Amino acid sequence: MLKGRSLIEPEDFSLSEMEFLFSLAEMIEKDEKYLRNSLKGRLLATLFFEPSTRTRLSFEAAMLRLGGSCLGFAEPGSSSAVKGESLADTIRMAASYADAIVMRNPKEGAALLASRYSVVPVINAGDGGHHHPTQTLTDLLTIRQLLGKIENFTVGFCGDLKFGRTVHSLAKALARFPDIKMIFISPQELILPEYIKNMLKNQNIIFDERENLEKSMPELDVLYMTRVQRERFFNEDDYIRLKDTYVLNKEKMSAGKEKMIVLHPLPRVNEISVEIDSDPRAAYFKQAKYGMYVRMALLASVLGAEDVKY
């Protein structure tokens, strides 16, 4: 049963529950009328305490396409957080007005806390440098759609692996699929947090940490590029020094497999040159679209739309 459930970390859903969401998303993609009015009269609160384009708009588009409505705020400045209201109180209020809450917050653990004060499902749209489970659903659906399966792949993660919450969530999720090898490519200062590495070690996942992107290219089936997370740095000089460590360009792409795909949660800054956009292996804009379909599947499921039976 997905009805009434919150999604805070990727492990909150079982593999078969995720598979169910992917199949539902695929059905919606094939027939955009499917589930069209299934959430008529229902309300989604989108509480964004941090900037967002894709995540917020794709959740709102998903809810509207399902016939529901949205309310909320896109920046904390327009909420009572600026008056000093606690997150717990904001959530209690939102839960009494809406049928589900999507929240992004700069503090790690905020989504879990919110779920404890909410009587309606809470969906984590990013909690600081911690997790971003609906981006993971998007990433996995994209891999499945474009490569036909989620197994027996070498996945390279490149960029800010320290603060990149999409990396943390995707690495944890991929560890549950068969025969996935991971290569983590970053400068020394931005390596993957110890707790994720320990989790991978405990599950006997094969992974490697490197600094060089070029040399790793020929091995990869999926390359997951990320932006250096400026907002999480304590020091602007460090950001400026590290921000352009990796720039994926035509030359580097020429060393990649013909069937490799390049993903990026977006927004990109400089890490993928625009000259790559027309390469058939560049999948990041398709990925953004899959994000809407999988969020439609998720909302229809947690809000218990009539036609959705899990």
Catalytic residues: 54-55, 83, 104, 132
Q: Which is nearer to ligand NCD, 55 or 118 (CB)?
A: 55
**Distance of closest approach, residue 166 Cβ to ligand NCD, in angstroms:** 5
Cβ neighbours around 267 below 10 Å, total: 10
* Residue type for position 70: C
Please identify, using beta-carbon distances, which residue of 55 and 216 lies nearer to ligand NCD: 55
Which CA distances in Å does 194 have to 168, 190, 295? 11, 11, 30
Cis peptide upstream of residue 267 (ω within 30 degrees of 0) = yes
Q: In the complex with ligand NCD, which residue's Cβ is closer, 161 or 266?
A: 266
**Of the two residues 54 and 162, which places its CB atom closer to ligand NCD in the complex?**
54
DSSP category for residue 293? H
Residue 49: phi and psi, rounded to 5, are -90, 0
In the complex, what is the shortest distance from the CB of residue 208 to ligand NCD, in angstroms, rounded to a whole number? 23
**Biggest CA pair distance of the chain:** 54
Q: How far is the CB of 233 from ligand NCD (least distance, A)?
A: 13
Nearest approach, Cβ of residue 66 and ligand NCD (Å) = 20
CB 121 within 8 A of CB 101: yes
Listed in sequence order, the residues at least 6 apart from 242 whose beta carbon sits closer than 8 Å to its beta carbon are 160, 187, 189, 190, 228
CB closer to ligand NCD out of 155 and 266: 266
Any idea what the Cα angle at residue 70 is, between residues 105 and 25, rounded to 5°?
Answer: 85
Which residues contribute to the site for ligand NCD (CB under 6 A)? Answer: 54-55, 126, 132, 135, 165-166, 227, 265-266
Phi and psi of 229, rounded to 5°?
Answer: -80, 80
CB of 265 to ligand NCD, least distance (A): 4
| Coil, strand or helix at 230 | helix
Query: For ligand NCD, which residue has the nearest CB?
Result: 265
